[in-house]
Amino acid sequence: MTSTAVTGISELVTNDPARERGLLGVVQDAAVVVDEGRIAWIGPETDVPDADGRLELNRQTMMPGFVDSHSHLVFAGDRSAEFVARMTGTPYDGGGIAVTREATCAADDEQLRALVAARVAEMNALGTTTVEIKSGYGLTVEQEARALRIAAEFTTETTYLGAHVVPLEYHDDRAAYVELCAGEMLEACAPHARWIDAFCEPNSQYAFTEDEARHILTAGKDRGLLVRVHGNQLGPGPGVQVAVDLGAASVDHCTYLSDSDVEALAGSGTVATLLPGVEFSTHSPYPDASRLIAAGVAVALASDCNPGTCYSSSMPLMVALAVREMNMSPEEAVYAATAGSARALRRDDIGTVRLGTSARDLAVLDAPSYRHLAYRPGMPIAHRLPGTVL
């Protein structure tokens, strides 16, 4: 069978305003034809052309698969005790990364690969079709390169994050670690990475200052990597300005923003990626997405799935939190978790439903409307298309 008519789509979210009015370009009572794994026809169900097979969705929603543009899946170990302490007031400061580093470095390749595979499977099961994966729990040349080699088995969106924290053995000589990140470690990691990232956060003694982050990111950029930044997570800081100055695709967290940060983002090609699972899991105040959207800033949503600040990769949960806690409409949140996060990865082949879109990049909701992602928090309504259509 080469072509399948997928019918009974109550709402088809295209994210294509040229097809249908509104941010999400929703086609009501729609059908699509998938031919050789790609969308070959989109339109009202009443006009659907003949195909070799048929899949009836019985008034379910079809949408672009979630694009999770920020995750740290290559890790071993458990920090649930740290989470419990935070729920009763212990603040997050980045110090726990060392605990995960120890467990990660102690795991062999097979163990790490199995952990990443299980986490990617969890994501896929909840409608995520593209995932970015960072290194950052190795912090030596060999361990960072190993993490990226394993990540690259699962995605092309791999990010070198040697500059996650300054490891303990370099606390008396930070400059030496910065040089390692910008030199030998970068050389070993660049062949396995598309992106470079740095945790630019002067509010954490473990993370990197503005000058340190600029130095490492600039070296990565000169080496041909694309730039993204962890910034403004724990307090106001220089992360946003560093990201904008270096032409980063995205600055992630953006929990504490000044008016000049918002202005800088609005006039830039840098996406503000919000990670509401982090605020949830660290008991922190949520950023106000409506402030960014009103200023014209491009906004993305991602999970940041990691053992310290958010051990959840559920993009439906991120949508629900964004709507409940960050002043986003369901429409804005769904757009940010698909087209917005595709933009944060500088990808124009995903995040929308158009002619030519791969069926592997689609999600189906067991619900009549995309609004149910926020309306039914915690419910497993999002899936990928069944394998028969792929």
Return residues touching Fe ion (CB under 5 A).
304
Q: Which of 25, 64, 65, 96 binds ligand NIG (CB under 6 A)?
A: 96
CB of 254 to Fe ion, least distance (A): 12
Question: Which residue in the shown chain puts its C-beta closest to ligand NIG?
Answer: 308
Yes or no: say if 187 and 145 are a contact pair by the CB < 8 Å rule: no
Residue 323: which H helix or E strand, with range? helix 315-325
If the CB atoms of residues 82 and 304 are measured against Fe ion, the closer one turns out to be: 304
Binding residues with ligand NIG: total (CB under 6 A): 13
Neighbours of 103 (CB within 10 A): 15
In angstroms, give the least distance from the CB of 226 to ligand NIG.
Answer: 18
What one-character-per-residue DSSP string does 41-99 give? EEEEGGGPPP-SEEEEEEEEEEEEPEEE--B-----S--HHHHHHHHTTPPP-STTHHH
The yes or no reply on residue 127 touching ligand NIG (CB under 6 A) is no
Site string for ligand NIG, 352-381 (x = CB under 6 A): ------------------------------
State the Cα–Cα distance between residues 371 and 10, nearest whole angstrom: 12
User: Measuring CA to CA, how many Å separate 281 from each of 88, 122, 307, 348?
Assistant: 12, 19, 10, 31
Which among 121-129, 284-292, 304-312, 339-347 is the span making contact with ligand NIG, rule CB under 6 A?
304-312
- Name which of residues 272 to 301 contact ligand NIG (CB under 6 A): 278
How far is 165 from 367, CA to CA, in rounded Å?
Answer: 42
Stretch that binds ligand NIG, among 41-49, 61-69, 114-122, 307-315 (CB under 6 A): 307-315
372-376 contacts, C-beta under 8 A, 24 or more apart: 372/61, 373/316, 373/319, 373/320, 373/330, 373/333, 373/334, 374/319, 374/320, 374/322, 374/323, 374/324, 374/330, 374/333, 375/330
**Residue (15 or 69) nearer to Fe ion, CB:** 69
135 is a site residue for ligand NIG (CB under 6 A): no
What the block records as the tokens of 342 is 């595709």
Query: Considering the complex, what minimum distance in angstroms separates the CB of residue 3 from Fe ion?
Result: 41
Among 66, 154, 199, 206, binds ligand NIG (CB under 6 A): 199
Do residues 363 and 63 make contact, with C-beta atoms less than 8 angstroms apart? yes
Of 24, 39, 42, 97, which lies in the binding site for ligand NIG, with binding defined by CB under 6 A?
Answer: 97
Give CA torsion, residues 352, 357, 358, 364, to 10 deg: 40
End-to-end alpha carbon distance in the chain: 11
d(CA 110, CA 266): 44
308 binds, among Fe ion, ligand NIG, none (CB under 5 to 8 A by kind): ligand NIG
**Minimal distance in Å, beta carbon 25 to Fe ion?**
30
Rule CB under 6 A: say whether 233 interacts with ligand NIG.
yes
CA distance 311 to 308: 7
Question: What is the C-alpha to C-alpha distance for residues 28 and 43, in angstroms, rounded to an integer?
Answer: 9
Residue from 4, 10, 100, 313 that binds ligand NIG (CB under 6 A)? Answer: 100
**Please, which residue, 204 or 338, has the CB nearer to ligand NIG?**
204
Rounded CA-CA distance 294/251 in Å is 18
Any idea which residue has 């922190």 for tokens? 284
Task: Confirm or reject binding of residue 68 to ligand NIG (CB under 6 A).
Answer: no
Among 158, 306, 313, 314, binds ligand NIG (CB under 6 A): 306
Give me the torsion for CA of 219, 222, 228, 232, rounded to 10°: 40
Instruction: State the binding partner of 71 from ligand NIG, Fe ion, none, CB within 5 to 8 A by kind.
Output: none
Establish if 308 lies at the interface with ligand NIG (CB under 6 A): yes
Region near ligand NIG per CB under 6 A, out of 92-100, 151-159, 283-291, 372-380: 92-100
> CB of residue 102 vs ligand NIG: minimum separation in angstroms?
12
Minimum CB separation of residue 161 from Fe ion in Å reads: 8
Contact stretch for ligand NIG (CB under 6 A) within 189-197, 215-223, 303-311, 336-344: 303-311
Q: List residues binding ligand NIG (CB under 6 A).
A: 72, 96-97, 100, 199, 230, 233, 278, 304, 306-309
